[in-house]
Structure 1
Amino acid sequence: MLLYLADYLLSVDGGFRVFHYLTFRAILGVLTSLLISLIIGPWMIRRLRGNKIGQSIRELGPQSHYEKAGTPTMGGTLILVAIAVSTLLWADLGNRYIWVILLVTMGYGVIGFIDDYRKVIKRNSDGLSAKAKYLGQSVIGLTAAIFLYKTASIPAETQFFIPFFKDVMLDMGPMYVVLSYFVIVGTSNAVNLTDGLDGLAIMPTVMVAAGLGVFAYVSGHATFSQYLAIPYLPNAGELIIFCAAIIGAGLGFLWFNTYPAMVFMGDVGALALGGALGVLAVLVRQEIVLVIMGGVFVMETLSVIIQVASFKMTGKRVFRMAPIHHHFELKGWPEPRVIVRFWIITVILVLIGLATLKLR
């Protein structure tokens, strides 16, 4: 929005040309979403606490979690507001990628909001039924995938690229829609499963968004993409503004969500942020890199799948509890230790993902 104002003011003073630099607007995007989170956060927490919108705790699980009962939830609304405002202010709103990722993120946020609302009203952990939740995610994810496939203007937008190889690109055809759908829906649910401890999900989300932001920037830059032998995607560069908004909003939310948490993000935040990361990976054609960078999300998801499959087939559990972060808690790890170690793992994985830019 402000980019158009800068264009108008450019006739008055050439200094406004600085707003055309993606890196400058990305910095402003981080600061804007961060400030929104820090300013609105205390007010929102007071409102949530005043309306008794508190988290209910499952009967099964680590005993230490009972102390968290009543902690305000649905704080993910704060994240979404900060992301939306910052993106709308600093991004080029003529870029279709921006609208796709914004609409998917907010759409998943609505699904999460309904789920959280039902949990709060019923004062239990049931919320929205799994079928209804998955249906909503599927409709939004599939709609986005079909739209991107139908509006693709160059072959690179729908090709499948494999890291570590310069010239391995597969024409997906309609399978692009299938892959994109599973990446978007799968990542949304993976982040949601990870969101079980204070700050556990938000910091890896921030780090993965930063990593994918680098891919967005170089993919949208003709010279950099050619030098690094990655697909040139003319519209992708603008996505760094959205990534910057996630970083700022995420760090601002972490200010209140760090252990011991003053507020939880709830499904409204977790589903939305997961969907956002999935769309990002699809838009910059780095689905495999997302799997690498988001290894913690993958690990959490696999632990649930393995646990359920093992119990159904053998009647035995592989882990003391799934997702796996609860397994380590029940082994005696203090919650902050689990959180920080998962953060460290994410740092390493994001660096490995970034290394694929050069190791080709």
Structure 2
Amino acid sequence: MVVAALLSLLLVGLFIRVSKARGWGQPVRKDGPQTHLSKEGTPTAGGVPFVVALALVFFPLYLTGNAGGPRELLIMLTALGMGLIGGADDLLKVRSRMTGSGRKELLAREKFPLQLIVGLAFAWFAAPLAAHELVPGFGQIGDILLLTLVMVGSVNAFNFTDGVDGLLGGVAIIVLLPLLALSPSAALLVAVLLGFLWFNAHPARVFMGDMGSHAIGAIAAGAYVLYADVWLLPIAAIVPVAAVLSVIIQVTYFKRTGKRFFKMTPIHHHFELSGWPETHVAMRFWVVTAIATAGVWWMLGGRP
């Protein structure tokens, strides 16, 4: 974990220097919180270097028998698969920013089927490892469908949580704490996130981007499915769940009434527009996550 954290620190720092030299900055929504306008041009896709650090540490450990068995390989390959989908989105955003033309991002109708394919592949191999039927009465097919939805839902929920300095990195670390002694992938992700947060703490010198958030969501889902209980994930990940629900509520309410239910979504932006400083949003969401994760820890018997 120490090596992973230091390698992440080094690679993220190097990435920031290269990004600034090449102008890989991120545009900021003009209708969002006014405090975000000063972030215009901040390097994005900072998840790329910490995912690279994660892979560079994990695979040598795995090949020497020091990073668990097939479950860990399944988690890591799923994280890399989801990360590549997010990375393609990051690449389009950076290229569009640099050239001023071309596609700005992957469309939902392109991204979602790719996520389903990776999620289905994970579920196919993960379902037989479950200690009991997850969907009583439907057998393994029901379990596969459920785990596919859990994986895809987790990736998108953690992706929606990104948007405030330090928020997603801190939330992810707390969510994974009960599994540190069980899953090497989860432990190494916590380590590389510590290196990333050195630069992502307010005021952020780099943003995470989709590759990082997709990999985080995949490892969180994989670790809870294979080492704890799939039904505990939405409890620990209460903030990502709230983020994705806020978007669903906003879209549904707007289509029916033509008005906004929240000032802006995902929900962390609603609190910013309500007057909360960005640092307060991140800290308070960490606290909520810590309380929920403590409950999960207790339900797991108070063991790591």
User: Take 1:155 and 1:184, find their aligned partners in 2: how far apart are those partners?
Assistant: 15
1:173 aligned to 2:137?
no
Unaligned runs of 5+ in 1: 1-29, 162-168, 218-239
Deviation track 1:187-223 (CA, whole Å, cap 9, x = no partner) reads 0000100001111101111111222335xx3xxxxxx
CA distance in 1, matches of 2:301, 2:108: 41
Task: Give the Cα–Cα distance (whole angstroms) in 1 for the partners of residues 227 and 137 of structure 2.
Answer: 15
SS at match of 2:286: helix
Q: Which deviates further from its counterpart, 276-285 or 245-254?
A: 276-285
1:254-269 matches, cutoff 5 A:
254-269=197-212
Which residue number corresponds to residue 50 of structure 2? 79
Counterpart mapping for 1:101-116 below 5 A = 101-116=75-90
Q: After superposition, where does 1:86-235 map in structure 2 within 5 Å?
A: 86-91=57-62, 92=65, 95-123=69-97, 126-149=104-127, 152=128, 156=131, 159-160=133-134, 172-214=139-181, 217=182
Name the aligned partner's letter for residue 172 of structure 2: T
| Counterpart residue identity of residue 251, structure 1 | L
Q: Deviations over 1:248-276 (max 9, x none)?
A: 00111000000000111100111111122
C-alpha displacement of 1:101 = 1.0
Post-superposition Cα deviations, 1:156-189, rounded to whole Å, max 9, x if no partner, equal 1x5339xxxxxxx887421110110011000000
Helix, strand or coil at the partner of 1:70: coil
Tell which structure's C-alpha radius of gyration is larger. 1
The answer to whether the 8 A contact 1:90-1:241 is kept is no
1:247-258 equivalences in 2 (<5 Å): 247-258=190-201
Distance 1:309 1:73, change over 3 A: same
AA aligned to 1:247 is: V
Kindly provide the amino acid, as one letter, of the partner of residue 148 in structure 2.
Y
- 2:164 aligned partner, one-letter code: L
Alignment of 1:300-319 (within 5 A): 300-319=243-262
Which amino acid counterpart does residue 173 of structure 2 have in structure 1?
V
Aligned residues: 295
Q: TM-score, normalised by structure 1?
A: 0.78
Unaligned runs of 5+ in 2: none
Q: Structure 2 CA distance, aligned partners of 1:357 and 1:103?
A: 26
